A and B are shown apart, each in its own frame.
Chain A
């Protein structure tokens, strides 16, 4: 602080502190506290707000246990509350998206960091960025067109004789997964690219010189070194996927339901903002708990990710 004042003067330092404080307080802390507070209050008509019925209770949170449906897992049939089912499917498919992003991004990141000619890397990175210049809504719609039953993807595959009848892509969660992988893959690519770039190429050469095969070099040298990058990429992709509303709304089918869509239905269709808030916090807490658990299993520290 002393240092900042000496460098920029009291006026500019004050302005910076004020702006940061405003951003934190007004855009992060207060909205969240408001949401958190209202999540414990019942949904009441306006006249009864503040009346005797307006008391704090965990009832909004307990609504996830309402209304069971039949669910089959590994050939066994269970009765599972419908919102819990939605929640676990959201987590499960977000994990799938995260793994798919990793499998696709790792080779590209390694190529960019260690194989590509350093002179052409800026151009390649720019090419990766270009799709981000178009709004996420438009890109999701573009995929909706591409994946349509009589859309360009099916025509292409048919003309190449790779398939003999059109594939229905937008069914169940399939199109949602494709859309999410496409939307969030760069959040996986860049942390891994940064991590691999910081690996001394001599380490790779030393391993090869000692007789290691390509797979072994990746398994023992490159992957362990890039673990923090993979971890931060995975956390970002997972959290963004689980919290995405747009892609599941546009690319979803009649049989797909994302937990964020449930929250939106509480908020917009049922107009019950209190339950919607409770569900939003459930999503936040449980995802955070899940991420912490996975990080603990893979022995990744928070400080590694922040690097």
Chain B
């Protein structure tokens, strides 16, 4: 009992502002799909269009293959979990969970039984007769999930539901959400601006900027092979070089910068203005002697010990700051601040990427 969702050329305008710009995505039944992007990128608008609170200006939305345009939220097989959860404060926990059944005319005994069953599913037995205000943030979260699951939706829509929780609980709830999704097999569509959340939980991620989908892929692909500069810099950290492409051949190219000419993978569409070279800090090595290629002499300016890794900043000629992260294996030697060193990277781990995709 889960359905796929197809967005075909969906556009949503608010007055002169185009919140969602020709979005095409196919979400498979039973998939955990995240829309990831900064605030104002249109991800919440997409969620509201799927749930039926906002109608698209153009384009078609299909749920389970069926065009749902014109259907009110109470007619769609979706359940939305709001950012602030929107639990009903004047109802007890079990009444909250059973609300969707109550409106469907299910009798009280059955409602209560189903609510208890769902409370066990979300690992919150014994809270049935409490009020939402008596629960902690994480418990409220579970009640909201149970309330949405009670109506047996084909699709669950989650609007940054973890953003109000503290870090520890957030990490715990990530795993929990993922487990509930696997257990129920319902399609989950998750909205977040937190890249860690999206990468850790999702089967696939759609990265958005300015109303447009920049890339749709599984988390590993998004992180390792971002298609453009926006995706690369929104998901994870980078050392970024500005320059021009020279001698492209076989997917590799030279890249001329003020710090010398580097060699790196050439991304598709990496032509014209705004093309930059991106290297992840964890793919940047540090050494006392120059490497064979892609090596930059630096002066170590800052070392920060992060526990599992050590982040080292180096100042290159012209004031550019480069960051290298090395794994802390317990014996890693760290260069002293002010000392000279070389930072280098593997050409296969560096990518020349175009700017974000914007208006057509």
Show the binding face of A for B, using Cβ within 8 Å: 200, 202-203, 205-213, 216, 220-221, 224-225
Contact = CB atoms under 8 A, between A and B. Distances in A.
B151 A210 contact: yes
Given A210-B79, A213-B74, A205 B86 contact: yes
B267 interface: no
A206 B82 contact: yes
Interface string B258-280: 00000000000000000000000
Given A200-B84, A203-B86, A224-B90, A208 B74 contact: yes
Given A205-B73, A208-B74, 15 more contacts: A200-B84, A202-B86, A207-B88, A209-B51, A209-B52, A209-B73, A209-B78, A210-B74, A210-B100, A210-B148, A210-B150, A212-B74, A212-B103, A220-B88, A220-B102
Contacts of A200: 84, 86
B80 A206 contact: yes
Nearest to A202: B86
A200 B90 CA distance: 13
A211 B103 contact: yes
Nearest to A227: B90
- Please indicate which of the listed interface residues B74, B79, B147, B150 has the most CB atoms of chain A within 10 Å of its own CB: B74
A209 B80 contact: yes
A210 B147 contact: yes
28 contacts: A200-B86, A202-B82, A202-B86, A203-B88, A205-B82, A206-B80, A206-B82, A207-B103, A208-B72, A208-B74, A209-B52, A209-B74, A209-B78, A209-B80, A210-B74, A210-B79, A210-B99, A210-B100, A210-B103, A210-B150, A211-B100, A211-B104, A211-B151, A212-B99, A216-B103, A220-B88, A220-B99, A225-B90
A213 B100 CA distance: 11
Contacts of A209: 51-53, 73-74, 78-80
Contact of B53 (A205, A212, A213): A205
Contacts of A208: 72-74
A206 B84 CA distance: 11
A205 B52 CA distance: 10
Contacts of A202: 82, 84, 86
Say which size band chain B's interface belongs to.
20 to 34
A209 B72 CA distance: 9
A23 B147 CA distance: 54
Interface of B: 51-53, 72-74, 78-80, 82, 84, 86, 88, 90-91, 99-100, 102-104, 147-148, 150-151
Nearest to A225: B90
Contacts of B100: 210-211
A206 B91 CA distance: 14
A301 to B, nearest CB: 14
A28 B195 CA distance: 64
- Please indicate which of the listed interface residues A202, A205, A206 has the most CB atoms of chain B within 10 Å of its own CB: A206
9 tightest A-B CB contacts, nearest first: A202-B86, A210-B100, A206-B86, A212-B103, A211-B74, A209-B73, A202-B82, A209-B80, A211-B103
Nearest to B150: A210
A202 B99 CA distance: 15
A205 B73 CA distance: 8
Contact of B103 (A205, A213, A224, A225): A213
Nearest to B99: A210
Contacts of A213: 74, 103
- Please indicate which of the listed interface residues A207, A210, A220, A225 has the most CB atoms of chain B within 10 Å of its own CB: A210
B63 to A, nearest CB: 14
A10 B147 CA distance: 57
Contacts of A212: 74, 99, 103
A91 B51 CA distance: 49
B351 to A, nearest CB: 41
Contacts of A207: 88, 99, 103
Contacts of A205: 53, 73, 80, 82, 86
B79 A221 contact: no
Nearest to A205: B53
Contacts of B91: 220
Contacts of A225: 90
Nearest to A214: B74
A212 B80 CA distance: 14
B336 to A, nearest CB: 54
A216 B86 CA distance: 17
B235 to A, nearest CB: 29
Contacts of B88: 203, 206-207, 220-221
Contacts of B72: 208
A122 to B, nearest CB: 21
Nearest to A224: B90
A206 B103 CA distance: 13
- Please indicate which of the listed interface residues B72, B80, B84, B86 has the most CB atoms of chain A within 10 Å of its own CB: B86
Contacts of B79: 209-210
A263 B202 CA distance: 76
Contacts of B90: 224-225
A208 B73 CA distance: 6
A207 B104 CA distance: 12
A210 B86 CA distance: 12
A206 B104 CA distance: 15
Contacts of B103: 207, 210-213, 216
Nearest to A212: B103
A168 to B, nearest CB: 46
Nearest to A203: B86
B106 to A, nearest CB: 11
A213 B73 CA distance: 10
- Please indicate which of the listed interface residues A203, A209, A225 has the most CB atoms of chain B within 10 Å of its own CB: A209
A216 to B, nearest CB: 5
Contacts of A210: 74, 79, 99-100, 103, 147-148, 150-151
A209 to B, nearest CB: 5
Contacts of B73: 205, 208-209
Contacts of A216: 103
Contacts of B102: 220
A203 B132 CA distance: 13
